[in-house]
Chain A
């Protein structure tokens, strides 16, 4: 019955030359409509140009409430790892004091920031890091005692090499270890410079850093 009525309705509409009560849009239709809505809704402002909503593969694959298929995730991770730029001369560790300042700093790359203005690391927005800072976020795991818990007694010691390199890769491109990580790709996206990344590394790994006290 319903079926017949719908069919009749549609033919009547075709005669009338307009369309009401079409079938609900498919998921693919909705994806397409969303794409149009995104395109029509945003405008460039300051340094934030429209290329920022041109998704790369990793962004597109992680833009729903369901994780991408295992194979896609693995591919994203492998590509990210392959693209990690390791620090010049194997110098991974900088000054934890500068790292702490960077961790506190949540500025950079918004449309109210000037072009080329250095960015902060945004770390405390999402992570507990040093014990002294009580205003920390919980979106990411606690990084308090990061180096200590991983047995780092000296950053230069050969047995520390693995965790040092892992941490560098994680900061440079978080997708190298987790395709849909919530953390920005600080090196890959040019948020932090190599020198800044070294300082954040020191904050996490240097046994002298307050993080490891």
Chain B
């Protein structure tokens, strides 16, 4: 239990770092949000980011609903979604911990969009995935889940 919690906190810290350093924090760099943030998507791993920065601690939250399968028959297409009933969510991020670049997708939501988005991502191997929600008042909340990627048939 303790070890799990520590791991979660570690991930949390690294996530905050990733977002802060790369101008993804709402209010920090609104203007940048309009364009694709190269650096954010180049981050090689959560650990890399953790090393570089250490600010902000996102909290794991039951209010964030991460939709992901327990097991994926093929890592090329893994459905991932995030939703929350919390008010004022401005941004949703979807990450895959063990991918070469952790961040898969970022969504900037206007007031007209429900905090409920879904897409599909590639996963190179079994990994934790994260859904992160950032509110207008800079609360950073996340949910995580392990998705098992199985080996395929025949030629595998």
Contact surface of A with B, Cβ cutoff 8 Å: 104, 106-107, 110, 124-125, 134-135, 137
Judging by beta carbons under 8 Å apart, are A107 and B151 in contact? no
Judging by beta carbons under 8 Å apart, are A134 and B155 in contact? no
Q: Which residues of A contact B155 (CB under 8 A)?
A: 106-107, 110
Contacting A at CB under 8 A, from B117-156, are 150-151, 153-156
Judging by beta carbons under 8 Å apart, are A135 and B150 in contact? yes
Judging by beta carbons under 8 Å apart, are B150 and A106 in contact? no
Q: Which residues of B contact A134 (CB under 8 A)?
A: 150
Judging by beta carbons under 8 Å apart, are A125 and B154 in contact? yes
What are 14 A-B interface contacts by the 8 Å CB criterion? A104-B151, A106-B154, A106-B155, A106-B156, A107-B155, A110-B155, A124-B151, A125-B153, A125-B154, A125-B156, A134-B150, A135-B150, A135-B151, A137-B153
Determine the distance from Cα of A171 to Cα of B150 in the docked complex, in whole angstroms. 26
Residue of B nearest to A122 (CB): B154
Q: Which residues of B contact A104 (CB under 8 A)?
A: 151
Supply 12 further A-B pairs (C-beta < 8 A) apart from A110-B155, A124-B151.
A104-B151, A106-B154, A106-B155, A106-B156, A107-B155, A125-B153, A125-B154, A125-B156, A134-B150, A135-B150, A135-B151, A137-B153
Determine the distance from Cα of A125 to Cα of B154 in the docked complex, in whole angstroms. 6
- Main SS class of interface, A: loop
Determine the distance from Cα of A110 to Cα of B153 in the docked complex, in whole angstroms. 15
CB of B1, distance to nearest CB on chain A (Å): 24
Question: Which of B150, B154, B155 has the most C-beta atoms of chain A within 10 angstroms of its own C-beta?
Answer: B155
Residue of B nearest to A136 (CB): B151
Q: Which residues of B contact A107 (CB under 8 A)?
A: 155
Residue of A nearest to B152 (CB): A135
CB of B136, distance to nearest CB on chain A (Å): 43
Determine the distance from Cα of A100 to Cα of B153 in the docked complex, in whole angstroms. 17
Determine the distance from Cα of A169 to Cα of B150 in the docked complex, in whole angstroms. 32
CB of A7, distance to nearest CB on chain B (Å): 54
Q: Which residues of B contact A135 (CB under 8 A)?
A: 150-151
Determine the distance from Cα of A124 to Cα of B155 in the docked complex, in whole angstroms. 11
Residue of A nearest to B71 (CB): A134
Determine the distance from Cα of A159 to Cα of B155 in the docked complex, in whole angstroms. 38
The 3 A-B residue pairs with the shortest CB-CB distance, nearest first, are A135-B150, A135-B151, A106-B156
